[in-house]
Chains A and B, each alone.
Chain A
Amino acid sequence: MKTTDCTDPVIHIDPTLCTGCRRCAEVCPVDAIEGLPGEPQTVNADRCVICGQCVQICSVYASDWAGSSPQEGAARRLERIQERDMPADIREPLFAAYYSYNLNKVADMMTKPGQFRIVQCAPAIRVSLAEEFGMPFGTLTPGKMAAALRRLGFDRVYDTNFGADVTIMEEGTELIRRVTEGGPLPMFTSCCPAWVRFAEIEYPDLLDHLSSCKSPMQMLGALIKSYGAQLDEVEPANIYSVAIMPCTCKQFECDRPEMESDGYRDVDEVLTTRELAYWIKQRGIDFANLPDEEFDSPLGQYSGAGSIFGVTGGVMEAAIRTGYELLTNEKLPKLQLDFVRGEEGIRVAEVQVGKLQLKVAVVAGLQHAYQLLDRVQAGECDYHFIEVMGCPAGCISGGGQPKLMLEKHRIEAYRARKSSIYGHDAAHQVRKSHENPHIIKLYDEFLGEPLGHVSHHLLHTTFQQRGPGKQSRSSTISTKGDTGYSIH
Chain B
Amino acid sequence: MSGTGNMMHRPTDNRSASTNRMGAASRTSTVASSFVVADAGQCIGCKACELACFAVHSQANGIGASVGTVSVPVLPKVYVVRTGEMYVPVQCRHCENAPCAHACPVQAIRQEDGVVMIDEERCIGCTFCVLACPFGAIEVSPVYRAGHVVTQSGLTHRANRVALPRTAASKCDLCAETENGKPACVEACPNHVLRLAKGISDSPPEPRREVFFPRL
By a beta-carbon cutoff of 8 Å, the part of chain A in contact with chain B is: 19-23, 37-38, 59-61, 63-65, 91-93, 95, 131-135, 137, 274, 277-278, 402-409, 413
5 A-B pairs closest in CB distance: A132-B68, A21-B46, A19-B45, A64-B73, A134-B64
Given A21-B46, A131-B68, A274-B68: A65 in contact with B141 (beta carbons within 8 A): yes
Tell me the nearest residue of chain B to A403, going by C-beta: B67
Given A131-B64, A131-B65, A131-B68: A405 in contact with B51 (beta carbons within 8 A): yes
Tell whether, in the assembled complex, residue B74 and residue A63 are in contact, meaning their CB atoms are under 8 Å apart: yes
Tell me the nearest residue of chain B to A409, going by C-beta: B65
Taking the nearest CB of chain A, how far is it from the CB of B184, in angstroms? 7
B 138-197 contacts with A by CB, 8 A: 139, 141, 184, 187-188, 190
Tell whether, in the assembled complex, residue B66 and residue A22 are in contact, meaning their CB atoms are under 8 Å apart: no
B 53-90 contacts with A by CB, 8 A: 54-56, 62-75, 82, 85, 87
Given A64-B73, A91-B71: A408 in contact with B187 (beta carbons within 8 A): yes
Tell whether, in the assembled complex, residue B65 and residue A133 are in contact, meaning their CB atoms are under 8 Å apart: no
Question: Which of B62, B85, B139, B188 counts the most chain A CB atoms within 10 A?
Answer: B188
Contact indicator per residue, chain B 10-29, by CB within 8 Å of chain A (1) or not (0):
00000000000000000000
From B44, B68, B82, B139, contact of A23 by CB (8 A): B44
Tell whether, in the assembled complex, residue B46 and residue A405 are in contact, meaning their CB atoms are under 8 Å apart: no
Taking the nearest CB of chain B, how far is it from the CB of A77, in angstroms? 9
Tell whether, in the assembled complex, residue B45 and residue A403 are in contact, meaning their CB atoms are under 8 Å apart: no
The 10 listed contacts between A and B (C-beta, < 8 Å) are A23-B48, A38-B85, A59-B47, A59-B50, A59-B51, A91-B70, A92-B70, A134-B69, A402-B67, A407-B48
Say yes or no: is B130 at the interface (Cβ < 8 Å to chain A).
Answer: no
Tell me the nearest residue of chain A to B56, going by C-beta: A406
Cα–Cα distance between A137 and B69 once the two chains are bound (Å): 13
Cα–Cα distance between A38 and B141 once the two chains are bound (Å): 28
Say yes or no: is B31 at the interface (Cβ < 8 Å to chain A).
Answer: no
Tell whether, in the assembled complex, residue A405 and residue B55 are in contact, meaning their CB atoms are under 8 Å apart: yes
Given A59-B51, A60-B45, A413-B65: A406 in contact with B71 (beta carbons within 8 A): no
From B54, B66, B71, B74, contact of A402 by CB (8 A): B66
Say yes or no: is B52 at the interface (Cβ < 8 Å to chain A).
Answer: yes
Taking the nearest CB of chain B, how far is it from the CB of A20, in angstroms? 7
Tell whether, in the assembled complex, residue A23 and residue B65 are in contact, meaning their CB atoms are under 8 Å apart: no
From A20, A95, A131, A407, contact of B66 by CB (8 A): A131
Given A407-B190, A408-B187: A61 in contact with B66 (beta carbons within 8 A): no
Cα–Cα distance between A25 and B139 once the two chains are bound (Å): 32
Tell whether, in the assembled complex, residue B68 and residue A407 are in contact, meaning their CB atoms are under 8 Å apart: no
Cα–Cα distance between A405 and B63 once the two chains are bound (Å): 10
Cα–Cα distance between A65 and B141 once the two chains are bound (Å): 9
A406 contacts which chain B residues (CB < 8 A)? 51-52, 55-56, 65, 184, 187-188
Tell me the nearest residue of chain A to B68, going by C-beta: A132
A413 contacts which chain B residues (CB < 8 A)? 65
Taking the nearest CB of chain A, how far is it from the CB of B148, in angstroms? 11
Cα–Cα distance between A402 and B65 once the two chains are bound (Å): 9
Given A93-B74, A405-B52: A60 in contact with B64 (beta carbons within 8 A): no
Taking the nearest CB of chain A, how far is it from the CB of B168, in angstroms? 14
Given A59-B51, A131-B68: A19 in contact with B73 (beta carbons within 8 A): no
Taking the nearest CB of chain A, how far is it from the CB of B70, in angstroms? 5
Tell whether, in the assembled complex, residue A60 and residue B73 are in contact, meaning their CB atoms are under 8 Å apart: no
Tell whether, in the assembled complex, residue B62 and residue A23 are in contact, meaning their CB atoms are under 8 Å apart: no
Cα–Cα distance between A392 and B68 once the two chains are bound (Å): 21
Cα–Cα distance between A21 and B82 once the two chains are bound (Å): 12
Taking the nearest CB of chain B, how far is it from the CB of A95, in angstroms? 8
B71 contacts which chain A residues (CB < 8 A)? 91-92
A137 contacts which chain B residues (CB < 8 A)? 65
Tell whether, in the assembled complex, residue A92 and residue B85 are in contact, meaning their CB atoms are under 8 Å apart: no
Tell whether, in the assembled complex, residue B66 and residue A19 are in contact, meaning their CB atoms are under 8 Å apart: no
Tell whether, in the assembled complex, residue A404 and residue B67 are in contact, meaning their CB atoms are under 8 Å apart: yes
Cα–Cα distance between A452 and B190 once the two chains are bound (Å): 52
Given A64-B74, A406-B188, A408-B188: A37 in contact with B68 (beta carbons within 8 A): no
Question: Which of A20, A60, A135, A403 counts the most chain B CB atoms within 10 A?
Answer: A60
A407 contacts which chain B residues (CB < 8 A)? 48, 188, 190
Tell me the nearest residue of chain B to A59, going by C-beta: B48
A402 contacts which chain B residues (CB < 8 A)? 66-68
Given A64-B73, A407-B188: A59 in contact with B68 (beta carbons within 8 A): no
Cα–Cα distance between A278 and B50 once the two chains are bound (Å): 24
Tell whether, in the assembled complex, residue A21 and residue B45 are in contact, meaning their CB atoms are under 8 Å apart: yes
B141 contacts which chain A residues (CB < 8 A)? 65
Taking the nearest CB of chain A, how far is it from the CB of B165, in angstroms? 9
A92 contacts which chain B residues (CB < 8 A)? 67-68, 70-71
Question: Which of A59, A408, A413 counts the most chain B CB atoms within 10 A?
Answer: A59
Tell whether, in the assembled complex, residue B52 and residue A60 are in contact, meaning their CB atoms are under 8 Å apart: no
Taking the nearest CB of chain A, how far is it from the CB of B205, in angstroms? 36
Tell me the nearest residue of chain B to A22, going by C-beta: B44
Tell me the nearest residue of chain A to B44, going by C-beta: A21
Taking the nearest CB of chain A, how far is it from the CB of B152, in angstroms? 14
Given A38-B85, A59-B51, A63-B74: A405 in contact with B66 (beta carbons within 8 A): yes
Tell me the nearest residue of chain A to B66, going by C-beta: A402
Cα–Cα distance between A112 and B71 once the two chains are bound (Å): 31
Tell me the nearest residue of chain A to B69, going by C-beta: A134
Tell whether, in the assembled complex, residue B74 and residue A23 are in contact, meaning their CB atoms are under 8 Å apart: no
Taking the nearest CB of chain A, how far is it from the CB of B172, in angstroms? 17
Taking the nearest CB of chain B, how far is it from the CB of A374, in angstroms? 30
Cα–Cα distance between A354 and B56 once the two chains are bound (Å): 55
- For the complex with contacts A61-B51, A92-B68, A402-B67, 18 further pairs of A-B residues with Cβ separation under 8 Å are A21-B46, A23-B44, A37-B44, A38-B45, A59-B50, A61-B50, A64-B74, A131-B69, A132-B66, A134-B62, A134-B66, A404-B65, A405-B55, A405-B67, A406-B55, A406-B188, A409-B65, A413-B65
Taking the nearest CB of chain A, how far is it from the CB of B29, in angstroms? 32
A22 contacts which chain B residues (CB < 8 A)? 44
Tell me the nearest residue of chain A to B79, going by C-beta: A63
Tell me the nearest residue of chain B to A402, going by C-beta: B66
Taking the nearest CB of chain B, how far is it from the CB of A28, in angstroms? 15
Tell whether, in the assembled complex, residue A403 and residue B48 are in contact, meaning their CB atoms are under 8 Å apart: no
Cα–Cα distance between A385 and B179 once the two chains are bound (Å): 46
Question: Which of B44, B45, B65 counts the most chain A CB atoms within 10 A?
Answer: B65
A135 contacts which chain B residues (CB < 8 A)? 64
B45 contacts which chain A residues (CB < 8 A)? 19-21, 38, 60
